[in-house]
Chain A
Amino acid sequence: MLRHLDEELKELHKEILKMGVLAQEAIFKSIEALKNRDKTMAQEVIDTDNKIDELELAIDEKCIDLIARYQPMAGDLRFITTGMKINAELERIADLSVDISQRVLTLVDKPLLKPLIDIPKLSAIAQNMVRDAIDAFVNKDVALAKNVVLTDSQADKLRNQVVDELVNDYMAKDTKTVDRAVPLLLIARHLERICDHTTNIAEDVIYMVEAKVVKHHPEELR
Protein backbone atom coordinates (compact mmCIF):
# COMPACT_ATOMS: atom_id res chain seq x y z
CA MET A 1 0.00 0.00 0.00
CA LEU A 2 1.40 3.39 -0.99
CA ARG A 3 1.42 5.82 1.89
CA HIS A 4 1.55 9.59 1.82
CA LEU A 5 4.18 9.32 4.56
CA ASP A 6 6.47 7.56 2.07
CA GLU A 7 6.49 10.69 -0.10
CA GLU A 8 7.30 12.81 2.93
CA LEU A 9 10.10 10.46 4.02
CA LYS A 10 11.56 10.50 0.52
CA GLU A 11 11.58 14.27 0.67
CA LEU A 12 13.25 14.19 4.11
CA HIS A 13 15.83 11.73 2.84
CA LYS A 14 16.64 14.09 -0.03
CA GLU A 15 17.05 17.05 2.33
CA ILE A 16 19.38 15.14 4.66
CA LEU A 17 21.41 14.06 1.65
CA LYS A 18 21.62 17.69 0.56
CA MET A 19 22.86 18.58 4.05
CA GLY A 20 25.47 15.82 3.70
CA VAL A 21 26.65 17.18 0.35
CA LEU A 22 26.97 20.71 1.78
CA ALA A 23 28.89 19.46 4.81
CA GLN A 24 31.20 17.43 2.56
CA GLU A 25 31.78 20.50 0.39
CA ALA A 26 32.61 22.58 3.45
CA ILE A 27 35.26 20.13 4.66
CA PHE A 28 36.70 19.72 1.19
CA LYS A 29 37.01 23.45 0.64
CA SER A 30 38.46 24.13 4.08
CA ILE A 31 41.14 21.53 3.48
CA GLU A 32 41.86 22.80 -0.04
CA ALA A 33 42.14 26.30 1.42
CA LEU A 34 44.71 24.98 3.90
CA LYS A 35 46.70 23.07 1.29
CA ASN A 36 46.74 25.92 -1.21
CA ARG A 37 46.85 28.73 1.35
CA ASP A 38 43.74 30.05 -0.35
CA LYS A 39 42.11 32.91 1.56
CA THR A 40 39.19 33.26 -0.85
CA MET A 41 38.19 29.63 -0.49
CA ALA A 42 38.49 29.76 3.31
CA GLN A 43 36.25 32.82 3.33
CA GLU A 44 33.78 31.03 1.06
CA VAL A 45 33.37 28.23 3.63
CA ILE A 46 32.72 30.78 6.36
CA ASP A 47 30.22 32.67 4.23
CA THR A 48 28.17 29.67 3.13
CA ASP A 49 27.73 28.27 6.64
CA ASN A 50 24.48 30.15 7.22
CA LYS A 51 22.96 28.23 4.30
CA ILE A 52 23.76 25.00 6.15
CA ASP A 53 22.35 26.39 9.39
CA GLU A 54 19.10 27.25 7.63
CA LEU A 55 18.82 23.80 6.12
CA GLU A 56 19.46 22.26 9.55
CA LEU A 57 16.52 24.16 10.99
CA ALA A 58 14.29 23.25 8.06
CA ILE A 59 15.09 19.54 8.42
CA ASP A 60 14.47 19.65 12.16
CA GLU A 61 11.15 21.33 11.62
CA LYS A 62 10.21 18.75 9.01
CA CYS A 63 11.04 15.87 11.38
CA ILE A 64 9.01 17.36 14.23
CA ASP A 65 6.15 17.98 11.84
CA LEU A 66 6.20 14.36 10.63
CA ILE A 67 6.25 13.01 14.18
CA ALA A 68 3.35 15.26 15.19
CA ARG A 69 1.20 14.50 12.17
CA TYR A 70 1.93 10.82 11.50
CA GLN A 71 3.02 9.41 14.88
CA PRO A 72 5.45 7.16 13.04
CA MET A 73 6.43 3.76 14.36
CA ALA A 74 9.12 1.12 13.84
CA GLY A 75 11.37 1.74 10.81
CA ASP A 76 9.67 5.08 10.05
CA LEU A 77 10.26 6.26 13.60
CA ARG A 78 13.88 5.15 13.55
CA PHE A 79 14.45 6.88 10.21
CA ILE A 80 13.01 10.19 11.40
CA THR A 81 14.71 10.23 14.80
CA THR A 82 18.10 9.25 13.40
CA GLY A 83 17.52 11.74 10.58
CA MET A 84 17.28 14.47 13.22
CA LYS A 85 20.48 13.33 14.87
CA ILE A 86 22.41 12.98 11.61
CA ASN A 87 21.21 16.44 10.67
CA ALA A 88 22.69 17.88 13.87
CA GLU A 89 25.98 16.02 13.36
CA LEU A 90 26.30 17.33 9.81
CA GLU A 91 25.71 20.86 10.99
CA ARG A 92 28.49 20.44 13.58
CA ILE A 93 30.79 19.05 10.86
CA ALA A 94 30.11 22.15 8.77
CA ASP A 95 30.83 24.35 11.80
CA LEU A 96 34.15 22.61 12.32
CA SER A 97 34.98 23.25 8.67
CA VAL A 98 34.34 26.92 9.38
CA ASP A 99 36.69 26.65 12.37
CA ILE A 100 39.37 25.13 10.11
CA SER A 101 38.86 27.92 7.59
CA GLN A 102 39.28 30.54 10.31
CA ARG A 103 42.56 28.94 11.37
CA VAL A 104 43.63 28.96 7.70
CA LEU A 105 42.97 32.70 7.54
CA THR A 106 45.32 33.26 10.49
CA LEU A 107 48.02 31.11 8.85
CA VAL A 108 48.11 32.23 5.23
CA ASP A 109 49.98 35.48 5.81
CA LYS A 110 52.73 33.78 7.80
CA PRO A 111 55.52 31.57 6.48
CA LEU A 112 54.82 27.86 6.61
CA LEU A 113 56.05 26.31 9.86
CA LYS A 114 56.78 22.93 8.31
CA PRO A 115 55.68 20.88 5.33
CA LEU A 116 52.30 19.36 6.13
CA ILE A 117 52.38 15.56 6.27
CA ASP A 118 50.09 14.16 8.95
CA ILE A 119 47.39 16.84 8.63
CA PRO A 120 46.70 15.98 4.96
CA LYS A 121 46.56 12.29 5.98
CA LEU A 122 44.13 13.16 8.76
CA SER A 123 42.01 15.29 6.45
CA ALA A 124 41.87 12.46 3.89
CA ILE A 125 40.62 10.11 6.61
CA ALA A 126 38.02 12.65 7.70
CA GLN A 127 36.78 13.22 4.16
CA ASN A 128 36.58 9.48 3.43
CA MET A 129 34.75 8.84 6.66
CA VAL A 130 32.17 11.55 5.96
CA ARG A 131 31.68 10.27 2.41
CA ASP A 132 31.27 6.68 3.60
CA ALA A 133 28.92 7.64 6.44
CA ILE A 134 26.66 9.48 4.02
CA ASP A 135 26.82 6.58 1.54
CA ALA A 136 25.97 4.20 4.38
CA PHE A 137 22.96 6.37 5.22
CA VAL A 138 21.78 6.52 1.61
CA ASN A 139 22.25 2.80 0.91
CA LYS A 140 21.38 1.58 4.42
CA ASP A 141 24.78 -0.09 4.33
CA VAL A 142 25.55 -1.38 7.83
CA ALA A 143 28.90 -2.93 6.86
CA LEU A 144 30.12 0.40 5.52
CA ALA A 145 28.82 2.20 8.63
CA LYS A 146 30.69 -0.24 10.87
CA ASN A 147 33.83 0.39 8.87
CA VAL A 148 33.44 4.13 9.48
CA VAL A 149 33.15 3.56 13.23
CA LEU A 150 36.26 1.40 13.23
CA THR A 151 38.28 3.94 11.24
CA ASP A 152 37.89 6.59 13.93
CA SER A 153 40.82 5.28 16.00
CA GLN A 154 43.18 6.05 13.09
CA ALA A 155 42.07 9.66 13.24
CA ASP A 156 42.68 9.79 17.00
CA LYS A 157 46.17 8.38 16.50
CA LEU A 158 47.08 10.88 13.80
CA ARG A 159 45.73 13.78 15.83
CA ASN A 160 47.93 12.72 18.77
CA GLN A 161 50.92 12.45 16.47
CA VAL A 162 50.36 15.96 15.12
CA VAL A 163 49.92 17.41 18.60
CA ASP A 164 53.02 15.65 19.95
CA GLU A 165 55.13 16.83 17.08
CA LEU A 166 53.94 20.45 17.25
CA VAL A 167 54.30 20.65 21.02
CA ASN A 168 57.60 18.81 21.47
CA ASP A 169 59.48 19.56 18.26
CA TYR A 170 58.37 23.15 17.78
CA MET A 171 56.60 25.02 20.59
CA ALA A 172 58.73 23.57 23.41
CA LYS A 173 61.93 24.28 21.56
CA ASP A 174 61.14 27.69 20.13
CA THR A 175 58.30 29.80 21.53
CA LYS A 176 58.35 31.98 18.42
CA THR A 177 56.67 29.09 16.57
CA VAL A 178 53.62 29.13 18.84
CA ASP A 179 51.50 31.49 16.73
CA ARG A 180 51.92 29.18 13.72
CA ALA A 181 51.88 25.88 15.60
CA VAL A 182 48.68 26.51 17.58
CA PRO A 183 46.44 26.98 14.52
CA LEU A 184 47.83 23.74 13.05
CA LEU A 185 47.24 21.97 16.32
CA LEU A 186 43.67 23.26 16.37
CA ILE A 187 43.11 22.16 12.78
CA ALA A 188 44.19 18.64 13.74
CA ARG A 189 41.77 18.82 16.65
CA HIS A 190 38.92 20.08 14.40
CA LEU A 191 39.56 17.27 11.91
CA GLU A 192 39.53 14.69 14.65
CA ARG A 193 36.24 16.14 15.96
CA ILE A 194 34.80 15.87 12.45
CA CYS A 195 35.69 12.17 12.57
CA ASP A 196 33.92 11.86 15.95
CA HIS A 197 30.72 13.41 14.59
CA THR A 198 30.99 11.17 11.54
CA THR A 199 31.32 8.15 13.81
CA ASN A 200 28.07 9.23 15.49
CA ILE A 201 26.39 9.37 12.07
CA ALA A 202 27.59 5.86 11.27
CA GLU A 203 26.33 4.58 14.63
CA ASP A 204 22.98 6.25 13.97
CA VAL A 205 22.79 4.54 10.58
CA ILE A 206 23.33 1.15 12.23
CA TYR A 207 20.49 1.90 14.66
CA MET A 208 18.28 3.12 11.83
CA VAL A 209 18.76 -0.04 9.78
CA GLU A 210 19.11 -2.76 12.40
CA ALA A 211 17.66 -1.17 15.54
CA LYS A 212 20.93 -2.09 17.22
CA VAL A 213 22.58 0.39 19.59
CA VAL A 214 26.34 0.35 19.03
CA LYS A 215 26.97 3.76 20.57
CA HIS A 216 28.98 3.19 23.77
CA HIS A 217 28.74 -0.55 23.04
CA PRO A 218 31.75 -1.31 20.82
CA GLU A 219 31.24 -5.05 21.40
CA GLU A 220 28.06 -4.77 19.30
CA LEU A 221 30.18 -3.97 16.25
CA ARG A 222 31.60 -7.46 16.09
Chain B
Amino acid sequence: MAKIITDNLNLWYGDFQALINVKAAFEEKKITAIIGPSGCGKSTLLRVFNRMNDLIEGVRTTGEVLIDGENIINSHVDLVALRKKVGMVFQRPNPFPLSVYENIVFGQKIHGDSSSKLELDSIVEQSLRSVLLWDDLKDKLQKSALGLSLEQKQRLCIARLIAVKPDILLMDEPCSTLDPQATARVEELMRELKDKYTIIIVTHNMQQAARVSDDTGFMLLGELIEFGRTPDIFTAPKDKRTEDYITGRYG
Protein backbone atom coordinates (compact mmCIF):
# COMPACT_ATOMS: atom_id res chain seq x y z
CA MET B 1 0.00 0.00 0.00
CA ALA B 2 1.25 3.47 -0.81
CA LYS B 3 2.07 5.66 2.19
CA ILE B 4 2.97 8.73 0.18
CA ILE B 5 1.55 9.58 -3.22
CA THR B 6 2.75 12.57 -5.20
CA ASP B 7 0.98 13.79 -8.29
CA ASN B 8 1.79 16.71 -10.55
CA LEU B 9 4.20 17.96 -7.89
CA ASN B 10 6.08 21.10 -8.89
CA LEU B 11 8.41 23.20 -6.79
CA TRP B 12 10.14 26.48 -7.50
CA TYR B 13 12.97 28.25 -5.68
CA GLY B 14 12.17 31.74 -6.92
CA ASP B 15 12.30 31.44 -10.71
CA PHE B 16 14.12 28.13 -10.68
CA GLN B 17 11.94 25.06 -11.00
CA ALA B 18 13.51 22.31 -8.89
CA LEU B 19 10.76 19.71 -9.20
CA ILE B 20 8.80 19.11 -12.38
CA ASN B 21 5.56 17.10 -12.42
CA VAL B 22 6.77 14.47 -9.99
CA LYS B 23 4.39 11.54 -9.83
CA ALA B 24 5.23 8.58 -7.60
CA ALA B 25 3.88 6.24 -4.95
CA PHE B 26 6.07 5.39 -1.95
CA GLU B 27 5.11 2.06 -0.43
CA GLU B 28 4.40 1.67 3.24
CA LYS B 29 7.05 -0.16 5.30
CA LYS B 30 9.40 -0.35 2.38
CA ILE B 31 12.67 1.38 1.69
CA THR B 32 12.61 3.63 -1.34
CA ALA B 33 15.87 5.09 -2.63
CA ILE B 34 16.05 8.29 -4.63
CA ILE B 35 19.15 8.53 -6.77
CA GLY B 36 20.40 11.07 -9.27
CA PRO B 37 23.24 13.51 -9.89
CA SER B 38 23.85 16.52 -7.64
CA GLY B 39 21.23 19.19 -8.10
CA CYS B 40 18.66 16.84 -9.63
CA GLY B 41 16.10 17.65 -6.95
CA LYS B 42 16.28 14.49 -4.87
CA SER B 43 16.88 16.26 -1.53
CA THR B 44 14.26 18.85 -2.45
CA LEU B 45 11.77 16.04 -3.03
CA LEU B 46 12.66 14.49 0.31
CA ARG B 47 12.18 17.83 2.06
CA VAL B 48 8.73 18.21 0.51
CA PHE B 49 7.52 15.29 2.60
CA ASN B 50 7.95 17.11 5.90
CA ARG B 51 7.69 20.62 4.46
CA MET B 52 11.30 21.43 5.32
CA ASN B 53 11.48 23.50 2.15
CA ASP B 54 9.13 26.00 3.82
CA LEU B 55 12.18 27.26 5.70
CA ILE B 56 13.73 28.49 2.44
CA GLU B 57 12.66 31.89 1.20
CA GLY B 58 10.86 32.13 -2.13
CA VAL B 59 9.77 28.49 -2.26
CA ARG B 60 6.51 27.71 -4.02
CA THR B 61 5.02 24.22 -4.22
CA THR B 62 2.03 23.08 -6.26
CA GLY B 63 0.36 19.74 -6.86
CA GLU B 64 -0.49 16.93 -4.54
CA VAL B 65 1.49 15.13 -1.87
CA LEU B 66 -0.81 12.73 -0.09
CA ILE B 67 0.41 11.19 3.14
CA ASP B 68 -2.18 8.75 4.43
CA GLY B 69 -4.60 10.47 2.09
CA GLU B 70 -4.03 14.03 3.33
CA ASN B 71 -2.53 16.59 0.99
CA ILE B 72 0.31 18.01 3.09
CA ILE B 73 0.97 20.83 0.65
CA ASN B 74 -2.13 22.62 1.99
CA SER B 75 -1.40 25.70 4.07
CA HIS B 76 -3.54 24.59 7.01
CA VAL B 77 -1.45 21.49 7.70
CA ASP B 78 -0.13 21.30 11.26
CA LEU B 79 3.62 21.35 10.62
CA VAL B 80 4.59 20.21 14.11
CA ALA B 81 2.36 17.16 13.81
CA LEU B 82 3.61 16.53 10.27
CA ARG B 83 7.26 16.65 11.30
CA LYS B 84 6.55 14.34 14.21
CA LYS B 85 5.02 11.87 11.79
CA VAL B 86 7.70 12.37 9.14
CA GLY B 87 11.14 12.46 10.74
CA MET B 88 14.38 13.30 9.02
CA VAL B 89 17.97 12.12 9.32
CA PHE B 90 20.62 14.33 7.78
CA GLN B 91 23.94 13.83 6.08
CA ARG B 92 25.98 14.93 9.10
CA PRO B 93 24.68 13.56 12.37
CA ASN B 94 23.41 16.52 14.37
CA PRO B 95 22.87 15.55 17.98
CA PHE B 96 22.08 18.41 20.34
CA PRO B 97 24.88 19.45 22.71
CA LEU B 98 23.10 17.61 25.49
CA SER B 99 23.37 14.22 27.13
CA VAL B 100 22.40 11.06 25.27
CA TYR B 101 19.28 10.87 27.44
CA GLU B 102 18.27 14.49 26.87
CA ASN B 103 18.74 14.10 23.13
CA ILE B 104 16.19 11.33 23.02
CA VAL B 105 13.59 12.92 25.26
CA PHE B 106 14.02 16.30 23.61
CA GLY B 107 11.26 15.54 21.12
CA GLN B 108 8.92 14.38 23.88
CA LYS B 109 9.46 17.65 25.68
CA ILE B 110 8.86 19.99 22.76
CA HIS B 111 5.81 18.01 21.78
CA GLY B 112 4.47 18.74 25.27
CA ASP B 113 4.61 15.16 26.41
CA SER B 114 3.88 14.91 30.11
CA SER B 115 5.28 11.43 30.60
CA SER B 116 6.68 10.51 33.99
CA LYS B 117 10.38 9.94 34.54
CA LEU B 118 9.72 6.21 34.44
CA GLU B 119 7.93 6.49 31.10
CA LEU B 120 10.70 8.65 29.67
CA ASP B 121 13.29 6.12 30.86
CA SER B 122 11.36 3.45 29.03
CA ILE B 123 11.18 5.54 25.83
CA VAL B 124 14.93 6.14 26.00
CA GLU B 125 15.63 2.44 26.40
CA GLN B 126 13.26 1.38 23.63
CA SER B 127 14.54 4.01 21.24
CA LEU B 128 18.18 3.11 21.88
CA ARG B 129 17.39 -0.58 21.60
CA SER B 130 15.70 -0.09 18.26
CA VAL B 131 18.88 1.48 16.86
CA LEU B 132 21.05 -1.15 18.57
CA LEU B 133 22.77 1.40 20.82
CA TRP B 134 21.35 0.39 24.19
CA ASP B 135 24.07 -2.07 25.12
CA ASP B 136 26.79 0.42 24.24
CA LEU B 137 25.25 3.48 25.87
CA LYS B 138 23.10 2.25 28.76
CA ASP B 139 25.79 3.27 31.25
CA LYS B 140 26.59 6.53 29.46
CA LEU B 141 23.14 8.05 29.22
CA GLN B 142 24.18 11.21 31.03
CA LYS B 143 27.34 11.66 28.94
CA SER B 144 27.35 14.31 26.22
CA ALA B 145 26.15 13.04 22.86
CA LEU B 146 28.92 15.05 21.22
CA GLY B 147 31.48 12.56 22.52
CA LEU B 148 30.04 9.66 20.53
CA SER B 149 31.52 8.25 17.34
CA LEU B 150 30.03 9.46 14.06
CA GLU B 151 28.13 6.23 13.58
CA GLN B 152 26.78 6.33 17.16
CA LYS B 153 25.75 9.95 16.65
CA GLN B 154 23.85 9.02 13.49
CA ARG B 155 22.17 6.12 15.27
CA LEU B 156 21.31 8.45 18.15
CA CYS B 157 19.69 10.87 15.70
CA ILE B 158 17.58 7.99 14.38
CA ALA B 159 16.70 6.99 17.96
CA ARG B 160 15.69 10.58 18.66
CA LEU B 161 13.23 10.41 15.76
CA ILE B 162 11.89 7.03 16.79
CA ALA B 163 11.19 8.36 20.29
CA VAL B 164 8.36 10.54 18.93
CA LYS B 165 6.83 7.57 17.09
CA PRO B 166 6.96 8.68 13.48
CA ASP B 167 5.56 6.70 10.53
CA ILE B 168 8.04 7.84 7.95
CA LEU B 169 11.80 8.25 8.16
CA LEU B 170 13.46 10.48 5.58
CA MET B 171 17.19 9.93 5.25
CA ASP B 172 19.30 12.39 3.31
CA GLU B 173 22.65 10.76 2.57
CA PRO B 174 22.70 9.22 6.07
CA CYS B 175 25.95 7.32 5.53
CA SER B 176 28.01 9.76 3.53
CA THR B 177 30.23 10.66 6.49
CA LEU B 178 30.57 7.07 7.71
CA ASP B 179 33.24 4.49 6.94
CA PRO B 180 32.28 1.29 5.07
CA GLN B 181 31.78 -0.79 8.23
CA ALA B 182 29.63 1.85 9.91
CA THR B 183 27.73 2.26 6.63
CA ALA B 184 27.04 -1.48 6.51
CA ARG B 185 25.75 -1.40 10.10
CA VAL B 186 23.46 1.57 9.42
CA GLU B 187 22.14 -0.25 6.34
CA GLU B 188 21.42 -3.29 8.53
CA LEU B 189 19.59 -0.99 10.92
CA MET B 190 17.52 0.39 8.04
CA ARG B 191 16.48 -3.14 7.09
CA GLU B 192 15.36 -3.76 10.67
CA LEU B 193 13.49 -0.47 10.87
CA LYS B 194 11.49 -1.03 7.72
CA ASP B 195 9.26 -3.51 9.54
CA LYS B 196 7.82 -0.52 11.37
CA TYR B 197 8.55 2.53 9.27
CA THR B 198 8.32 3.76 5.71
CA ILE B 199 11.83 4.81 4.79
CA ILE B 200 12.91 7.09 1.97
CA ILE B 201 16.62 7.49 1.45
CA VAL B 202 18.44 9.91 -0.80
CA THR B 203 21.86 8.61 -1.70
CA HIS B 204 24.73 9.28 -4.06
CA ASN B 205 25.94 5.77 -3.46
CA MET B 206 24.32 3.63 -6.13
CA GLN B 207 25.51 0.39 -4.58
CA GLN B 208 23.85 1.46 -1.35
CA ALA B 209 20.57 2.12 -3.14
CA ALA B 210 20.85 -1.28 -4.85
CA ARG B 211 21.65 -3.07 -1.58
CA VAL B 212 19.19 -1.53 0.78
CA SER B 213 16.09 -0.39 -1.08
CA ASP B 214 12.94 -2.12 -2.32
CA ASP B 215 12.07 0.58 -4.83
CA THR B 216 14.26 3.12 -6.54
CA GLY B 217 13.51 6.41 -8.25
CA PHE B 218 15.96 8.11 -10.58
CA MET B 219 15.80 11.90 -10.85
CA LEU B 220 17.38 14.21 -13.38
CA LEU B 221 17.01 17.98 -13.66
CA GLY B 222 13.96 18.05 -11.41
CA GLU B 223 12.12 15.21 -13.12
CA LEU B 224 11.49 11.74 -11.82
CA ILE B 225 12.71 9.86 -14.88
CA GLU B 226 12.09 6.32 -13.75
CA PHE B 227 10.61 4.68 -10.69
CA GLY B 228 10.36 0.96 -10.08
CA ARG B 229 11.45 -2.14 -8.22
CA THR B 230 15.12 -1.84 -7.30
CA PRO B 231 16.24 -5.09 -8.98
CA ASP B 232 14.59 -3.96 -12.22
CA ILE B 233 16.13 -0.49 -12.10
CA PHE B 234 19.64 -1.83 -11.57
CA THR B 235 19.54 -4.75 -14.00
CA ALA B 236 17.18 -3.53 -16.70
CA PRO B 237 16.32 0.17 -16.51
CA LYS B 238 13.80 1.21 -19.12
CA ASP B 239 15.01 4.75 -19.74
CA LYS B 240 18.33 5.36 -21.48
CA ARG B 241 19.05 8.25 -19.07
CA THR B 242 18.72 5.91 -16.08
CA GLU B 243 21.02 3.40 -17.75
CA ASP B 244 23.59 6.11 -18.49
CA TYR B 245 23.53 7.37 -14.92
CA ILE B 246 23.76 4.05 -13.11
CA THR B 247 26.47 2.76 -15.41
CA GLY B 248 28.50 5.93 -14.94
CA ARG B 249 28.10 7.24 -18.48
CA TYR B 250 26.24 10.36 -17.40
CA GLY B 251 28.16 13.59 -17.55
Contacts and interface: CB of A to CB of B under 8 A. Distances in A.
B235 interface: yes
A71, A74, A76, A77 — most chain B CB neighbours (10 Å): A74
A117 interface: no
A114 B234 CA distance: 56
A72 B206 CA distance: 10
Contact of B248 (A3, A77, A78, A211): A3
Interface residues on B, range: 10 to 19
A74 B251 contact: no
A73 interface: yes
Given A73-B210, A74-B243, A75-B243, A3 B249 contact: yes
Given A211-B235, A211-B236, A74 B246 contact: yes
Contacts of A78: 235-236
Interface in B224-251: 234-237, 242-243, 246-251
B76 to A, nearest CB: 44
B247 A76 contact: yes
B181 interface: no
Nearest to A75: B243
A20 B126 CA distance: 61
A73 B250 contact: no
Given A211-B235, A211-B236, A75 B247 contact: yes
Contacts of A73: 206, 210, 234-235, 246-247
A5 to B, nearest CB: 7
B207 interface: yes
A68 interface: no
Interface residues of A, number: 12
Given A3-B248, A75-B247, 16 more contacts: A1-B249, A1-B250, A1-B251, A3-B247, A5-B248, A73-B206, A73-B210, A73-B246, A73-B247, A74-B243, A74-B246, A74-B247, A76-B247, A77-B235, A78-B235, A78-B236
Contacts of B236: 74, 78, 211
A74 B248 contact: no
A1 B250 CA distance: 7
Interface in A185-222: 211
A72 B248 CA distance: 9
